[in-house]
Structure 1
Amino acid sequence: MAFLDNLKRSASTGEIILQRGGREVEFKKMQNRFSLRLKQGSVKTADALQSLCGPVDVSMRHIESLRVAQMDVFEVDDRTKLDNSMQILRASPHVDVVSHVYRLGESLSSEVIPTGIMTIQFKPEAKAREREKILEEFGLEVLEDLDFLPDGYFVKTTKQSTMNPLKTALKLQQYKEIRIAEPDIAFKVDYLHRPANPLYKHQWYLNNSGNQLSSIAGADVRAEEAWDITTGSRYIVICLIDDGFDLGDSRFNALGKIVASRDFKGSDFSQDEDLDLDGHGTACAGLALAKEDGQGIVGLAPKCAFMPITMPANITDRLFVAMFQHAMNENADVICCCWKARAEYFPLSTAMNAIIKKVAGEGRRNKKGCPILFAAGNDSSPLDGAKNDIHWLNGFAVHPDVIAVGASNSRDRQSSYSNWGPELAVCAPAGGGSNARSMVAAGARDSVGANSQFDGTSGAASIASGLAALILSVKPELGSAQVREIMMETADKIDPERGQYKDGHSPIYGHGRINAHRALKRAVQF
């Protein structure tokens, strides 16, 4: 769509179409909400905002605070006064950024907010003076040079900027010197589990003898046979990025087990009401690498080390980059993410795509790349395709360097919620489905107890990350592409009647349910 036509569309409908990571994304303006960031501090009530910035002729109320973006969201009662109220607030010397709130396409749950930061990538032939002239024209301040994106920069709008970040990006995308111009957005994530003892015999996903109700023998990852080869190495580090971790749990609290932990929630800017506090991160970590302590469950890679990265429920493109940079700088060997954006259609930004590519291709001490696993999602929908007239896209799971993991159940059938598609690499056991069992996983001690029922592709991805770590434990010189190849090549082709396998791949199970024993035997020979 031509720039002027798009700008007219924005003025008349509140919608704007931008390129994001090579995909078109429609931003739809919410007519009754705005967000703002103060130069100092924050405001939690409409009265406090007007006391600081002056009266605004509309009734409003505070909706939420975004910790990472340090922005507060307000809702007005009279939508006809929204734009005028925002103009008044922009004029205040106390205000840094005022922005509309948007939805992505038709999704009602995909609220996103431009943070005032942008990713710009110049074409290599653009000269320094041409670049500076463009930055000056749009009032943009350079925040950071991006080593993972050639000629790329994080920039920030300033008081000299005359357009909001979306319109600025739209116009910049027309410049011949510009390859990429994308606004950084704050978005919410969904942790991909379905919450539903300390006995190994209940961990059917590691060793399924078929003697429990709603299970069949062999619907597991062949853990015991794999452990005859290795239970992992403390020199191999699994990085889990999640909502929080109980690091005092005896299954993690051991000498040398926890390395390079990092909390990206930031200061106590706000109480994040959307944060899932029922032990999602702890449960995922338990499935991947809980050590044998004689008290609870054991992870698939119990002797591997653990790099916990804590994230808030609202993140930005830039924070995503920072989390992956930390994991790479601290030499994580495997990265596992058991969440997705809270949106049906969510393409990754160019910066997000680039940092995944860099970590997957150049990460780890040997610079041969770090395997990155993402849970496929629990929407019973395609990873990239149409369902019920809605186009679904999980940008994380469809990245070509990501190992996307779906879920199978205790009967070697598809877990009813698991997303599907040609991008699916493998599946791993998780709970769910008719006549199937839930999983048993480690949970937070002070909430749901030391063990909990835990269903979802989160569990599947966590177990698969344990396998990736076991492979590197026996063959640390492998690269990420080789680990992926081994996991797919040695997977069991379960449920052949329903699996729709073609050339060894099923849209429901990927290349099959992971088999840890076969994978380690193959790794030793690789």
Structure 2
Amino acid sequence: MRRFMRHTALGFSRLDALDSRTMLSLGTGLPLAGPIASQSDSFSHEHILVRYDLGSIQHASIGDLAGELVPGLRAVPVPEGSSVAEAIALARADPRVLYAQPDYLVSITSSPNDPRFGSLWGLNNTGQLVGGTPGADISAMEAWSVTTGSPEVVVAVIDTGIDLSHPDLAPNLWVNPGEVGGNGRDDDGNHYVDDIHGWNFVTNTPNVRDDNNHGTHVAGIIGAVGNNELGVVGVNWNVQLMTLKFLNSSGKGTTSNAIKALNYAVQMGAHVSNHSYSGGAYDAAFADAVASARSRGHIVVTAAGNDFSNNDVNPAYPANYVSDNLISVAATDAYDYIAGFSNYGATTVHLGAPGVSILSTVRNGSYGYMSGTSMAAPHVTGAVALIRGLHPEWSYDQVIAKLLTTVDKVADLDGQVQTGGRLNLGRAVTSETVGPRIESASYVPGDHTRIRLRFNEAILPGSFTPDDLVSLTGPEGQGVEVTAVTAVPGSADREFDVSFTSAGIGTYQ
């Protein structure tokens, strides 16, 4: 099975044979690498964690194997004068290495000092709502023990605008680095004049102040400043919120302006955009905009809709545009039930997130409660931003796969959303980050036209197709056509059967 590819959210990397060596330390003259995490104090600078292929180190000395954490995994010192990123780059280039990562620092989990944090059941559900189910939340505190966000990540809030003077949001507002405000010129050449915080596509001006409350509420869920002894806290304590207004004071807008807003977000470098609105029919131009965003690695998060309708049967847009960079979100309540108003869809809605009685920022520096899939979507948008900030080297599909394969399975969402679960940000951030790997490969009992692959963790069934296999060679060295890849029922998406055209009994590679 050496010719199969090892699945990751990004794609596949070759399972080549690893050579046997004995030296388990890192050398010098390390190549430069991209950033490992946004916060340099979030991991040890003295060593990294490296997991070696057991076959490649079977002749290693006893001293080399001392301190092994699990078979093949050990802490390796960072060479003097080198950075953690450089050490990891060198380790990953070693054919013996299965994966290498920082040794992240953890601490006692404590609540942020924002005075109304206790009311944010979606982030930490202690049963504070009468009858609420403790733990029916996104496990934000577990995630915050690793990271609280990154100011390098830009989130586009495509909505009714944002209260720019809100003290819980103002420090996290995106500022266009190429524009000089108030000079009446298009300094950065993007065809928008004085677009300091974004753009108002309703009036075609840089005035992006919220005149409705909806956009400010959404923004607070994503990125209200954390631990500032004020109001609430967002999923991200540190992030950049780009303000793109296309909905008017009544909460209505045109599809054409929504497309312009998405295009602006992508053009100006936003990593993810939140779309907490629904309505209208399929629009080919919008589908093209989502596809264009995909080509730039931009993730689109959408509200599933509030009609308690099956999106598989009655499409709702933009949630139903088909692209692997789009996530559609249903709303759940404090009991882990799907909200009575929420749209659903076993194939078109991806997961659930808190969306009932959500406290967040509103205009005039105030706070208020709202409900809707409009509130569920920004929980997921904030989660995307948090993961992206922790792993800036990941592609959009790696981020999405990590988020969707780490949900909490919830009985009321089974058969209602694609993953059957509700967002668990804590698990997404703290679970193994190297991506799924093939653990075993064998014939399906009694069938010599199917090979069963078992992965070390769940992968998205739709992301594993015949095109994801490099090649399959038959016993006589002939090429063999792979005809289908199907998930094995009951395997929690860890086992897949690869069907192929039979070339006789023997060894397939």
| TM-score of the pair, normalised by structure 1 | 0.53
Alignment check: 8 A CA contact 2:163 2:210 kept: no
Aligned to 2:219: 285
Offset of residue 400 of structure 1 = 2.1
Aligned to 1:423: 348
Alignment check: 8 A CA contact 2:302 2:329 kept: yes
- Equivalent in 354, 359, 363 of residue 293 of structure 2: 359
| Structure 1 Cα separation of the partners of residues 277 and 149 of structure 2 | 25
1:8-62 residue CA offsets vs partner (Å, 9 max, x unmatched): xxxxxxxxxxxxxxxxxxxxxxxxxxxxxxxxxxxxxxxxxxxxxxxxxxxxxxx
Q: Structure 1 residues 523 and 459 mapped into 2: Cα distance closer, same or farther (>3 Å)?
A: farther
1:279-307 residue CA offsets vs partner (Å, 9 max, x unmatched): 00000000010102311110001201111
Code of the residue aligned with 2:163 in structure 1: it is D
Aligned to 1:305: 240
Give matches, 1:225-244, under 5 Å: 225-244=142-161
Q: Structure 1 residues 290 and 258 mapped into 2: Cα distance closer, same or farther (>3 Å)?
A: farther
Partner SS for 1:393: coil
| Structure 1 Cα separation of the partners of residues 173 and 358 of structure 2 | 28
Offset of residue 423 of structure 1 = 0.5
Give matches, 1:92-111, under 5 Å: none
Alignment check: 8 A CA contact 2:355 2:371 kept: yes
Offset of residue 524 of structure 1 = 3.5
Alignment check: 8 A CA contact 2:210 2:363 kept: no
Offset of residue 317 of structure 1 = 4.2
Partner SS for 1:326: helix
Offset of residue 233 of structure 1 = 0.4
| Structure 1 Cα separation of the partners of residues 338 and 117 of structure 2 | 24
Aligned to 2:311: 383
Q: Structure 1 residues 222 and 451 mapped into 2: Cα distance closer, same or farther (>3 Å)?
A: same
Sequence identity percentage: 28
| Structure 2 Cα separation of the partners of residues 509 and 456 of structure 1 | 19
Partner SS for 1:285: helix
Q: Structure 1 residues 329 and 199 mapped into 2: Cα distance closer, same or farther (>3 Å)?
A: same
Alignment check: 8 A CA contact 2:138 2:423 kept: yes
Q: 1:252 aligned to 2:186? A: no
Offset of residue 521 of structure 1 = 2.2
Code of the residue aligned with 2:360 in structure 1: it is A
| Structure 2 Cα separation of the partners of residues 253 and 299 of structure 1 | 13
Q: Structure 1 residues 213 and 239 mapped into 2: Cα distance closer, same or farther (>3 Å)?
A: same
1:127-150 residue CA offsets vs partner (Å, 9 max, x unmatched): xxxxxxxxxxxxxxxxxxxxxxxx
Partner SS for 1:294: coil
Offset of residue 467 of structure 1 = 0.2
Q: Structure 1 residues 442 and 276 mapped into 2: Cα distance closer, same or farther (>3 Å)?
A: closer
| Structure 1 Cα separation of the partners of residues 310 and 171 of structure 2 | 40
Partner SS for 1:234: strand
Partner SS for 1:235: strand
Code of the residue aligned with 2:331 in structure 1: it is A
Aligned to 2:9: none
Offset of residue 424 of structure 1 = 0.7
Q: 1:321 aligned to 2:259? A: yes
Q: Structure 1 residues 327 and 378 mapped into 2: Cα distance closer, same or farther (>3 Å)?
A: same
Code of the residue aligned with 1:266 in structure 2: it is T
Q: 1:224 aligned to 2:141? A: yes
Code of the residue aligned with 1:297 in structure 2: it is V
Code of the residue aligned with 2:322 in structure 1: it is P
Aligned to 1:461: 377
- Equivalent in 372, 389, 411 of residue 300 of structure 2: 372
Q: 1:295 aligned to 2:230? A: yes
| Structure 1 Cα separation of the partners of residues 408 and 327 of structure 2 | 16
| Structure 1 Cα separation of the partners of residues 128 and 254 of structure 2 | 47
Alignment check: 8 A CA contact 1:371 1:483 kept: no
Q: Structure 1 residues 380 and 254 mapped into 2: Cα distance closer, same or farther (>3 Å)?
A: same
Code of the residue aligned with 2:315 in structure 1: it is L
Code of the residue aligned with 1:210 in structure 2: it is G
| Structure 1 Cα separation of the partners of residues 238 and 171 of structure 2 | 10
1:447-505 residue CA offsets vs partner (Å, 9 max, x unmatched): xx6110111111110111000001101111222222221111000011x2x44x3xxxx
User: Relative to structure 2, which stretch is displaced further, 205-214 or 469-478?
Assistant: 205-214
Q: Structure 1 residues 359 and 246 mapped into 2: Cα distance closer, same or farther (>3 Å)?
A: same
Give matches, 1:125-144, under 5 Å: none
Offset of residue 510 of structure 1 = 4.1
Q: Structure 1 residues 255 and 279 mapped into 2: Cα distance closer, same or farther (>3 Å)?
A: closer
Aligned to 1:491: 407
| Structure 1 Cα separation of the partners of residues 418 and 372 of structure 2 | 14
| TM-score of the pair, normalised by structure 2 | 0.54
| Structure 2 Cα separation of the partners of residues 514 and 201 of structure 1 | 19
Offset of residue 429 of structure 1 = 0.9
Partner SS for 2:360: strand
Give matches, 1:395-406, under 5 Å: 395-401=317-323, 402-406=326-330
RMSD: 2.2
Offset of residue 324 of structure 1 = 1.6
| Structure 2 Cα separation of the partners of residues 351 and 257 of structure 1 | 27
Structure 2 alignment gaps of length 5 or more: 1-113, 177-196, 436-509
1:218-244 residue CA offsets vs partner (Å, 9 max, x unmatched): 010001110011011000011110012
Aligned to 2:40: none
Aligned to 1:439: 358
